[in-house]
Amino acid sequence: MPGDEPPIAEPPSQDEFEAYFAPDQSLRNLVHMANEEMATFNITLLIGGMLVSGVVISPHEFYAGLAEVVRMRGTGTGAEGFSQVFTQVSANLQGEMAVDRIEAEVIEDDYDRYRVRTNPLFIHLRDTRFHHPAGSPLPGDAGVFWRGRLTAVDGFFLGALG
């Protein structure tokens, strides 16, 4: 009968959502330091039962690294174009960081901008290796550049696995 539908549940508040789904704040703070190019450091992440180990870097360094990998190892007509795109993204990120630093000195009360900058959503690694309980680390020869969502991280420790 019309009118007998069950009530629609209210969506969670922003605070409830963040309390359950937000990444670990300690990890976010560490990633923020790398994003601002204040530090790089070894880290090992537990993600869905797999260990991901590498060096935390800024998004700027991540895209610059991708550009270099594509430039050095890419083949075909599109490789140079992809390399140029990644180089441009890296340059844009570097420029945004410089603007953010200037604006942070001028506009200290802009809470939303501060929150976005200090609560990153992704972590960027170089020299990344994946360790599975059933086998040797992958890739076997050298680490790779890797980007992952912070909400997917189940746990972490500082330091890299060999």
Q: What is the pTM of this model?
A: 0.72
Residue 21 falls within a domain, yes or no?
no
Residue 9 falls within a domain, yes or no?
no
Task: Give pLDDT, residue 112.
Answer: 53
What is the tally of structural domains in the chain?
Answer: 1
Residue 12 falls within a domain, yes or no?
no
The sheet carrying 155-158 orders its strands as 144-149, 122-131, 50-57, 41-47, 155-158
Better-scored residue on pLDDT, 157 or 137: 157
Residue 1 has pLDDT above 70, yes or no: no
Residue 91 falls within a domain, yes or no?
yes
Q: Treating both helix axes as pointing N-terminal to C-terminal, what angle do 25-35 and 111-118 enclose, rounded to 10 degrees?
A: 90
Better-scored residue on pLDDT, 162 or 109: 162
Residue 49 falls within a domain, yes or no?
yes
Residue 30 falls within a domain, yes or no?
no
Task: Give pLDDT, residue 152.
Answer: 93
Residue 79 falls within a domain, yes or no?
yes
Question: Mean pLDDT across the stretch 5-19?
Answer: 74
Residue 35 falls within a domain, yes or no?
no
Residue 109 has pLDDT above 60, yes or no: no
pLDDT (tens digit, 9 = 90+) per residue, 110-130? Answer: 555 555 456 788 999 999 999
Q: Which domain holds residue 135?
A: 42-158
